[in-house]
Amino acid sequence: MKNIVIFPRKKSRDKFEELVGPHLEHLYRVAYRFCGTRDDAEDLVQDLIIKLYATRKELETVEQLRPWLARALYNLYVDNIRRYQRSPIMQVPPNEEHLLAEITDTANTPDQDHERRQKLQQLQRMFDQLSDEHRTILTLHDMEGYNLPELEKIMGIPVGTLKSRLHRARERLRDLVQKDGTF
């Protein structure tokens, strides 16, 4: 007979962290591709985590957490761009002004061979010019490896539509790159 070990009941925060923690890096990567800067990507992920925490009981019943989380991230991103995309200015709510004093430090560029880094930077610049729609589909499909049936669930858009959107997004990016002439 095996020993029976009785664990103390986990605090619900620990449980939440245990569930979501392993996917945090992935969510950040996707957010980074969507947003283009670390600051925005971290903001988006933080918003998501806060939102999910409020309904953390639900998470425990989700079978495939990664695509489920990707979907939640995507929806939040789409909500946010609807809200903010028109102008780079937003008002600071009066009760949040204290947050303006916060600052943290910087990161270093990952070490890469110079020429390739420059090439990738050019590609990044072209990628940044794509519409949100095109950026999100390329991120999820071509960069993060979700397939179309998965994306149908994540984005709530039929496979056929996604497929043609994907083609157009690639075409547009290839076009921009070609015009740029770096490659």
Closest approach, Cβ 99 to another protein, in A, equals 5
| Closer CB to another protein, 5 or 103, in the complex | 103
Cα 82 to the center of its chain, rounded Å: 16
**84 in Cβ contact with 43 (< 8 Å):** no
Going residue by residue from 150 to 179, which x/- string records binding to another protein, judged by CB under 8 A? Answer: ----------------xx--x--xx--x--
Smallest separation (angstroms) from another protein to the CB of 54: 6
Binding of residue 76 to another protein (CB under 8 A): yes
- Angstrom CA distances, 163 to 50, 104, 181, stand at 33, 41, 27
| Sole residue written with tokens 């999820």 | 140
Question: According to CB under 8 A, which one of 92, 113, 115, 181 is a site residue for another protein?
Answer: 92
Cα 183 to Cα 120: distance, rounded to the nearest angstrom: 10
CB of 13 to another protein, least distance (A): 5
The encoded tokens of residue 73 equal 């991230």
What is the distance between the alpha carbons of residues 146 and 151, in angstroms, rounded to a whole number? 6
Nearer to another protein, 3 or 108 (CB): 108
Stretch that binds another protein, among 1-9, 62-70, 125-133, 150-158 (CB under 8 A): 125-133
Number of residues assigned to the chain: 183
Report whether 34 contacts 79 (CB < 8 A): no
Q: Pick between residue 39 and residue 58 the one whose CB is nearest to another protein.
A: 39
Nearest distance, CB of residue 153 and another protein, angstroms: 18
- For another protein, which residue of 4, 90, 115, 181 counts as binding (CB under 8 A)? 90
